[in-house]
Amino acid sequence: MNPRITQRIAFTFLFLSTLLILVPVFLILLMIFRDGFQALSWQFLTAYPRLGMRAGGIFPAIVGTVYLVAATLAFSLPVGILAAIYLSEYAKDNWFKRVIEVAIVNLAGVPSVVYGLFGLGLFVIFLKFGASILAGSLTLSIMSLPVIITASREALGTVPLSFREVSLALGATKWQTIRRAVLPNALPGMITGTILALSRAAGETAPILFTVAAFYLPRLPRSIFDQCMALPYHLYVISTQVPNVKLSIQYGTALVLILLVLAMNIVAIVIRAQFRKRKLW
């Protein structure tokens, strides 16, 4: 067959495949926005669920998710950044470093439900934290580490070698060099990566199923040892466990969750763009 015709057929197939992926994404978003929008109201966002989730709002779920994200940030950011600093600035290129890198890749690939089991076994039961924000956020933190470490390493790698050499040549110690010449310039990239990791954590259900999520709580959690409600779990519950929940409420919950995730992604992207613009090197 004429190669030109083959090319035309092939390229059409490629184009259609791309559409096959992108069109549903677009449609899904459209659906959620359109059908969820009706449920969105000030009351929806600030009221408690009533009638067994069939009416009212999703306020405690929103707050719960915020608490979880905040706690996850507190645990995962410092560890992630320090680990990235180790890999980028201190670790020698040997088998040990390779093992660490393999471990990170594996942590990234562990199924979320296995994280749930792990969190249950270690934090809830063994360490006796019980089902709590503490247990849930620790689980989510470990899950977020690979993304944070990888993004932070990349950020550190973009800092030019000359900054380090100049600092050392002026009589700085290694840590001084990292703290003053390297870290400030890598921080925006690290923060971007962390926010993206957190946006993923915010949407996860399986890790929090057994470690923190509560079906219904009449009050907001008061300490880190309390359980909390959460948006992803709430959506799961009202779409599969509770019968006869108005579809608009389900869509509304999905919409709020997506908007939250979207907002975090946008913040991360904006930070990255601003940094690139201001960067002098």
Partner 1 sequence: MVKPKIEIQNLTVSYGPIESLRKVSLDVSEFEILGVIGPASSGKTSLLRTLNRLNDENPLFRKQGRILLDGLDIYTKMDVPLLRKRIGMIFALPAPLPLSIFDNVAYGPRLHGIRSKRELEEIVERSLRAGFLWDEVKDRLDTPAMKLSGGQQQRLCIARSLAVEPEVILYDEPCSGLDPISTARVEEAMQQLKQKYTQILVTNNTKQAARVSDRTAFFLMGELVEIDRTQKMFTVPQDQRTEDYVSGRFG
Partner 2 sequence: MMKSRRVLEFFIEGAIFLAGTVSILFVILIFIFLLKEGLALFRTVSVWEFLAGKNWYPISDPPRFGGLSLILGSIWVTAGAIVISVPIGVACAVFIAEVAPRWLREVLKGSVEFLAAIPSIVLGFIGLVTLVPLVQKIFGLSTGLTALSGSLMLGFMAMPTIVSIMEDALTAVPRSYREGALALGATHWQAIWRVVLPAASSGVIAALMLGIGRVIGETMAVMMITGNAARIPTTLLEPVRTMTATVAAEMGEAVQGSPHYFSLFAIGIVLFLITFIINLTADFFLHRKK
Site residues for partner 2, 22-51, by CB under 8 A, read 22, 24-26, 28, 31-32
Q: Give the 3-state secondary structure of the chain.
A: CCHHHHHHHHHHHHHHHHHHHHHHHHHHHHHHHHHHHCCCCHHHHHCCEECCCCEECCHHHHHHHHHHHHHHHHHHHHHHHHHHHHHHHHCCCCHHHHHHHHHHHHHHHCCHHHHHHHHHHHHHHHCCCCCCHHHHHHHHHHHHHHHHHHHHHHHHHHCCHHHHHHHHHCCCCHHHHHHHHHHHHHHHHHHHHHHHHHHHHHCCCHHHHCCCECCCCCCCCCCCCCCECCHHHHHHHHHHHCCCCCHHHHHHHHHHHHHHHHHHHHHHHHHHHHHHHHCCC
By beta-carbon proximity to partner 1, the closer residue of 68 and 182 is: 182
* Stretch binding partner 1 (CB under 8 A), from 70-78, 137-145, 161-169, 256-264: 161-169
Among 134, 135, 181, 254, binds partner 1 (CB under 8 A): 181
Contact criterion met (CB below 8 Å) for 84 and 153: yes
Q: Shortest gap between Cβ of 69 and partner 2 (angstroms)? A: 13
- Asked if residue 132 binds partner 2 (CB under 8 A), the reply is no
By beta-carbon proximity to partner 1, the closer residue of 182 and 201 is: 182
By beta-carbon proximity to partner 1, the closer residue of 172 and 220 is: 172
- Asked if residue 176 binds partner 1 (CB under 8 A), the reply is yes
- Asked if residue 167 binds partner 1 (CB under 8 A), the reply is yes
Whole-Å CA distances, 233 to 209, 229, 261:
7, 7, 15
- Which tokens hold the place of 127? 């360490």
* Stretch binding partner 2 (CB under 8 A), from 41-49, 67-75, 143-151, 219-227: 143-151
By beta-carbon proximity to partner 1, the closer residue of 122 and 172 is: 172
Identify residues 250-279 at the interface with partner 2 (CB under 8 A).
250, 254, 257-258, 261-262, 265
- Which tokens hold the place of 238? 């009202």
Q: Shortest gap between Cβ of 1 and partner 2 (angstroms)? A: 12
Contact criterion met (CB below 8 Å) for 57 and 47: yes
Binding string to partner 1 for residues 54 to 93, with x set by CB under 8 A, is what?
Answer: --------------------------------------xx
By beta-carbon proximity to partner 1, the closer residue of 31 and 170 is: 170
- Asked if residue 108 binds partner 2 (CB under 8 A), the reply is yes
Binding string to partner 2 for residues 50 to 89, with x set by CB under 8 A, is what?
Answer: ----------------------------xxx-xx-xxx--
Contact residues: partner 1, CB under 8 A: 92-93, 162-163, 165-173, 176, 180-181, 185, 279-281
